[in-house]
Amino acid sequence: MSPSHTAGFARQATETVAVAPVGWRDACLGELDRGGRFCGAYAVGAGAGRRWNALFADGEATRMLSLEVGEGEAVPTIVDLLPGADWDEREAHDLHGLDFAGRESLRPLVAHTAATGSWTVPVSGEGTYQVAVGPIHAGVIESGHFRFHVVGERILHLDPRLFYKHRGLQRAAEGASPERGLAFAQRACGACAVANSVAYALACEAALGLVADREARRGRTLLLELERLYNHLNDIAQICAGVGFAPGNMAFAALKERALRLNAELVGHRFLFGTVAIGAGPEVSAARADALRGALRELGEDAASAWRELSFAASVQARLGGVGVLSAEDAAALGAVGPAARAAGIALDCRSTSPGLWYGSSFAPAAPARPSGDVGARLEVRGVELPATLELLQELLAEPIGAGGSDPGPADPRGVARVESPRGETVCAVELTVARRLGRVHLRTGSYANWPALAHATADNLLPDFPLINKSFELCYACADR
């Protein structure tokens, strides 16, 4: 396979490099050496023609290393070099039958095996025992199981067991047209519907040889920021609930409700469903843009005063420091993204490298004053990003958004796109068949990337703090299970 290179267009270029099995680990290390960042891997095909593709982000570009996997062959693992690839390898084993050589174990991830010992890390010692929580939780929470290994109330290790909500969406989308596949990407997660759909649409457009025009890029960016707005308000409300601070929980729940109502007024759906299309963008008239700007300004003022008040609530602040710490080193090794990474002091925000959207060259990732990687820092990132998002929305709505379209660009049967969701970088890879049907859709959401980091951050904390730590990441189960 010859490397294909596309640059100079308003899209995220993807370069593919074929690698032989013997050189796989060195090739992956080489990507890291040249400044690449691992952002997912996925298996394609069945039988003798299987491939294992690893993605590396490098600024605006994405590089893909592609390995052909023969019948009965095992892929050399990279999990010792890139711990962030752990879930990718385990998922490929469970769903595509890939074997990996050189790993300590390939514990089932997506597959649910009966024996607890088969999917948990063995933990033993005096006074250790396990606490099983879920899949059904106490409140209105998505389904997933947590197996805590504890001594007394102290967590030694957490084995999350998700995929109770696995609907086989990626598999179900295969064979569909790119347009029809959009529904599968959107319904992977209600709270990240826009981010997932935009990532999918951008990946399809790259594969189809389309480049979204200025208006489509502005429209999609508007939708992405509206999604971030209600999610961040929700996350702050949830963290308040996690420490039992009802006034903060309810005040931010009320602000989130206002944001959802504005979404409904603008596009007719509170969660912005059905607003993203391939090769097109949403239209916003001058009157609607003006009305939305005014409403967002009021919402922003109320959110700012509520946030200020929250920062002076000593009983809340006292509960946040030093809880659920994720160090910068661990965040980087585990491939954490989004607010979780930024709270640990990693200046990573996909919006600063999204030429297919409308963030501009001056966009800079938010940096909390204390990047301590704890619950408090993750809360602060949301608080810092709210005004930035509101400012972006004001800029986008300063003029009406016309009906978006697309221009022709270079086509490649494979398209990859990266979009910053409220939970971090979401990567979508799409491979088309010669008949321009979906051969493979791979969606690796910000939640998927962050779950291993969350599990890691719980170690050495008290079991009763887990709900708070969980809410400070506020990851979706649906988008990981898909």
Partner 1 sequence: MFVLLRHLQRVRREAALPRRQGARSLAIRHVDAGSCNACEHELTAIAAPQYDFQRFGLDIVASPRHADVLLVTGPITRRMEGPLLSAYEAMPEPRRVAALGDCALGCNVLADPAELALPLDQLLPVDLRIPGCPPTPAEISAAILEMIDGG
Enumerate binding residues for partner 1 (CB under 8 A): 112, 135-136, 138-143, 163-169, 171-172, 183-184, 187-191, 193, 234, 247-248, 250-251, 253-254, 256-257, 260, 270-271, 273, 302, 305-306, 308-310, 313, 476-479
**What span, in angstroms and rounded, lies between the C-alpha atoms of 103 and 87?**
13
**What span, in angstroms and rounded, lies between the C-alpha atoms of 104 and 120?**
13
Give the shortest CB-129-to-partner 1 separation in angstroms: 22
Give the shortest CB-114-to-partner 1 separation in angstroms: 11
**What span, in angstroms and rounded, lies between the C-alpha atoms of 222 and 216?**
10
Give the shortest CB-242-to-partner 1 separation in angstroms: 13
Give the shortest CB-78-to-partner 1 separation in angstroms: 28
Closer CB to partner 1, 117 or 139, in the complex: 139
Give the shortest CB-196-to-partner 1 separation in angstroms: 10
Closer CB to partner 1, 199 or 346, in the complex: 199
Q: Name the token pair of 15.
A: 């370069």
Give the shortest CB-164-to-partner 1 separation in angstroms: 5
Please, which contacts does 52-60 make with residues 24 or more away whose CB atoms are closer than 8 Å? 52/92, 52/98, 53/429, 54/28, 54/78, 54/85, 55/416, 55/427, 55/429, 56/28, 56/31, 56/32, 57/353, 57/418, 57/425, 58/31, 58/34, 59/353, 60/12, 60/13, 60/353, 60/354, 60/355
Give the shortest CB-179-to-partner 1 separation in angstroms: 14
Give the shortest CB-184-to-partner 1 separation in angstroms: 6
Q: What is the DSSP string of 437-468?
A: -EEEEEEE-HHHHHHHHHHHHHTTSBGGGHHH
Give the shortest CB-27-to-partner 1 separation in angstroms: 33
Closer CB to partner 1, 253 or 459, in the complex: 253
Q: Name the token pair of 126.
A: 């005096």
Q: What is the DSSP string of 335-397?
A: T--HHHHHHTT----GGGG-TTSS--TT------SS---SHHHHHHHHHHHHHHHHHHHHHHT
Output the CA–CA distances (angstroms, integers) from residue 138 to 51, 65, 133, 141, 171, in the order listed: 42, 43, 10, 7, 32
Spatial strand order of the sheet with 128-133 comes to 128-133, 145-151, 154-161
Question: Is the separation of the CB atoms in 57 and 51 below 8 Å?
Answer: no
Residues pairing with 51 in the sheet:
44, 68
Closer CB to partner 1, 40 or 144, in the complex: 144
Give the shortest CB-231-to-partner 1 separation in angstroms: 9
Q: What contacts 108, CB < 8 A, 6 or more positions away?
A: 90, 94, 118, 119
User: Strand, coil or helix: what is 46?
Assistant: coil
Closer CB to partner 1, 84 or 422, in the complex: 422
Closer CB to partner 1, 45 or 135, in the complex: 135
**What span, in angstroms and rounded, lies between the C-alpha atoms of 98 and 472?**
34
User: Strand, coil or helix: what is 96?
Assistant: helix
Nearest residue to 356 via CA among 228, 219, 225: 219
Give the shortest CB-363-to-partner 1 separation in angstroms: 27
